[in-house]
Amino acid sequence: MKEQPVENKILTLKKAFEARFGSSEGLRFFAAPGRVNLIGEHIDYCGGLVFPAALTLDTLVAIRKNGTPSTVRLAATTIDGIRTFDINNIEDARSLDWGNYQAGVVRELIRLGIDVGGFDACYLTTVPFGAGLSSSASIEVSTGLAVSELFGGKLNGVEIALAGQRAENTFCGVNCGIMDQFASAMGKKDHAIVLDCNTLDYKYVPLELGNHVIILANTCKKHALGASKYNERRREVAEGLEEMQRIEKSRGVSEPHKTLCEYSVEELRDYMCEISDPTVMMRVIHVVTENARVKEAVKVLEAGKLDEFGELLRKANNSIRYLYEATGFELDAMFDAAVTFDGCVGARMTGGGFGGCTVNIVAADRVEDFKEYVGTRYTAATGNVPEFYVCETGDGARELFI
Ligand code: GLA
């Protein structure tokens, strides 16, 4: 799927705004992308390293003040009508069928001291919903940037990312980490970001894949993070951390590590058999080894060793599949088909899991063969028809000028 030119998206959005709110006078446009995570899954909330890249698939918002002190009116190209909430009663927005992410972000901006007044906003998104490509983060971050700029907030990208994460945690009930919002706010075209989720230190790494491309394969089984096992996994790793600290203390260490990803693979080896619950033990093994794989993956990618990078992707998939149990029938079927394709150097699930997409590194001249080969096998196994996107990386959140 080729992303449409930004001019077309702006034009569509402008028309949609006019149809709902009368005119387009004084409109400003902002965009924030979805992301693909290359490796480092389910460890952002354990203080780990992650390696995402922003996509060209994004959410655009057209916005302007509406002259009221506190009325927010929201619309989108794909939904009918207008959703309204009052800034003085933001809690009421929880009952909206759409607009929760925006309300949560507005609440966070107010908490940061920004004097948010009434505004009208219309959204257009090309990030497939529920596909593990961070459509929700792209809504949060585009809203955060747009509303903050409109009302003189002048937040930087990291502050916007953190506000988006808090909105999702406290208003939308998903206890997510910082990876998605960070990638959406801070992404850079043709680069992936290696992000230390403990310190928020980050580095851009050129995404040079030679004669290979990234293909996202969408299982078209939607994941629903809130309803899924995501929050359960968070509880399990919190228990895992307590266990590791307990074991560490029993060895005479007075100041145990504060996050799971601070444990080395050697410490893991030493302590893990004393973790009492086998499920918790599996989760901890995934987290600690995944963190080590990210370090290695960044190193080999920078050295241009694509085969080794692909091999780490495969190992990461097996870890999240068998130890973290965050894949499911559809993702497994997609992965199993991809890794038997000659020309695919690496594949894994990406994002929260339990549905959504796999990320695949495929020879550029074999893209059509890959889609045919994997698509046929995936449909035979699951009955679902998949979608494939040749992935282009893009920039993080920004204002669009026309
Ligand atoms: C979702 C969350 C992220 C991260 C991933 C798994 O996308 O929003 O914070 O935990 O799952 O890596």
Q: For the segment 139-150, what is each residue's pLDDT rounded down to a tens digit?
A: 999 999 999 999
Q: How many CB atoms lie within 10 A of CB 269?
A: 12
- Looking at the domain assignment, is residue 14 inside a domain? yes
190 is catalytic: no
Residue 97 lies in a domain: yes
Axis crossing angle, helix 157-170 with helix 135-150, rounded to the nearest 10: 120
Q: What mean pLDDT is reported for the chain? A: 96
122 in Cβ contact with 13 (< 8 Å)? yes
- Give the dihedral sign, CA 90/32/324/130: positive
Report the C-alpha gap between 320 and 337 in whole angstroms.
17
- Rounded to the nearest angstrom, the distance between the alpha carbon of 360 and the centre of ligand 1 is 18
Q: Best mutation site among 51, 179, 294 for ligand 1, i.e. most ligand atoms within 8 A of its Cβ?
A: 179
Residues 6+ apart with CB under 8 A from 370: 215, 338, 341, 343, 344, 360, 362, 388
Instruction: Categorize the per-residue pLDDT at 224 as very low, low, confident or very high, splitting at 50, 70 and 90.
Output: low
Residue 269 — φ and ψ, nearest 5°? -55, -40
Q: State the residue range of the domain holding 174.
A: 6-206+394-400
Domain presence at residue 183: yes
Position 159 in a domain: yes
Task: Please state, in angstroms and rounded to a whole number, the distance separating the CA atoms of residues 50 and 72.
Answer: 35
Q: Kindly state the average pLDDT of the residues 384-390.
A: 97
Q: Are residues 169 and 176 in contact, defined by beta-carbon separation less than 8 angstroms?
A: yes
pLDDT band at 173 (very low <50, low <70, confident <90, very high): confident
> For the chain, how many structural domains are there in total?
1
Is residue 344 assigned to a domain?
no
Each residue's pLDDT tens digit, 329-368: 999 999 999 999 999 999 999 999 999 999 999 999 999 9
Q: What is the per-residue pLDDT for 4?
A: 86
- Quick one: pLDDT at residue 1? 54
Q: In degrees rounded to 5, what are phi and psi of residue 381?
A: -80, -35
Ligand 1 center to 190 CA (angstroms): 22
pLDDT of residue 152: 94
The DSSP secondary-structure symbol of 175 reads -
Q: Are 359 and 346 contacting, i.e. CB atoms less than 8 angstroms apart?
A: no
Residue nearest to atom 2 of ligand 1 (CA): 176
- Taking CA 328 as the corner, what is the angle to CA 225 and CA 49, rounded to the nearest 5 degrees? 60
Kindly name the residue from 180, 270, 277, 342 that is annotated as catalytic. 180
Residue 39 falls inside a structural domain: yes
Residues 6+ apart with CB under 8 A from 135: 34, 59, 125, 127, 128, 129
Strand stretches in 219-374, DSSP E: 344-350, 357-363
pLDDT one-digit tens code per residue, 227-261:
578 999 999 999 999 999 999 999 999 999 999 99
pLDDT band at 2 (very low <50, low <70, confident <90, very high): low
CATH number, position 144: 3.30.230.10
Please report the pLDDT score of residue 209 as a whole number.
94
Q: Mind listing the pLDDT tens digit for each residue in 57-68?
A: 999 999 999 999
Q: Looking at the domain assignment, is residue 193 inside a domain?
A: yes
Span 152-180, average pLDDT: 95
CA 99/CA 123 separation, integer angstroms: 10
Euclidean distance between CA atoms 106 and 115, whole angstroms: 10
- Cite the beta strand spans of 200-335 per DSSP E: 202-206, 212-218
Whether 282 is covered by a domain: the verdict is: no
pLDDT for res 225: 54
Helix (H) or strand (E) holding 155: none
Helix (H, G, I), strand (E, B) or coil at 348: strand
For ligand 1, atom 5, name the residue with the nearest CA: 352
Distance (Å) of CA 106 to CA 143, 247, 268 = 8, 43, 42
